[in-house]
A and B are shown apart, each in its own frame.
Chain A
Amino acid sequence: GAGVSQSPRYKVAKRGQDVALRCDPISGHVSLFWYQQALGQGPEFLTYFQNEAQLDKSGLPSDRFFAERPEGSVSTLKIQRTQQEDSAVYLCASSTGPDRGREQFFGPGTRLTVL
């Protein structure tokens, strides 16, 4: 079956522009995560959804970052007024539900470059 997909795969933005990154999780997956991966680093948690509810947004670096999952499936991560430090790969992952041993399935990521 289809895995997690993300679009666009690459995005170049001028500083100050708004961007929207899309994630299509595996059908039926309850849990959805967004991570940010800087060059040469491991992914860092941004936010978590259980169905349509955003239960944890403690990892969002500033109030310029906003995420939603209105119908409990597709999710969008929006970054307003992008800054150079926002340049990173943004990863989406989904799993069947909240459990500490549950595998997360990752999308290919969106590489954001802010000029």
Chain B
Amino acid sequence: GNSVTQMEGPVTLSEEAFLTINCTYTATGYPSLFWYVQYPGEGLQLLLKATKADDKGSNKGFEATYRKETTSFHLEKGSVQVSDSAVYFCALSDQGSNSGYALNFGKGTSLLVTP
């Protein structure tokens, strides 16, 4: 079956530090890959996505590249800000029976950026 594994948190960084959150996946088909973010007190929202191998998703200074050879979709940002403090979820969607491309999520990685 499909699954997503992401690095455990919490991750604590100083402002302007480089961020990497690792994500690897297992899928039977050709999934799309997503990063969702949950800011404190808010709902899940899409951060970025990639739908095929070698695609790079980017948004708000975050980037992730769909690597089929390593089954990975690591999230990176060159210089984090305090406002990036949130929980980050890696997810995939792949057709499974009639699930309408439901999302399989990792467990989430909590990021705290300190001034």
Contacts and interface: CB of A to CB of B under 8 A. Distances in A.
Contacts of A101: 32, 49, 51, 93
Interface of B: 4, 30-32, 36, 42-46, 49, 51, 89, 91, 93-95, 97-108
Interface of A: 4, 31, 33, 35, 40-45, 48-50, 55-56, 58-59, 91, 93, 98-104, 106-109
Given A100-B32, A100-B94, A101-B49, A48 B105 contact: no
Do most interface residues of chain A lie in helix, strand or loop, or is the interface mixed?
A: loop
Contacts of B107: 40-42
B31 A43 contact: no
A4 B43 CA distance: 10
Among all A-B residue pairs, the 4 with the closest Cβ atoms: A42-B105, A55-B98, A101-B51, A106-B44
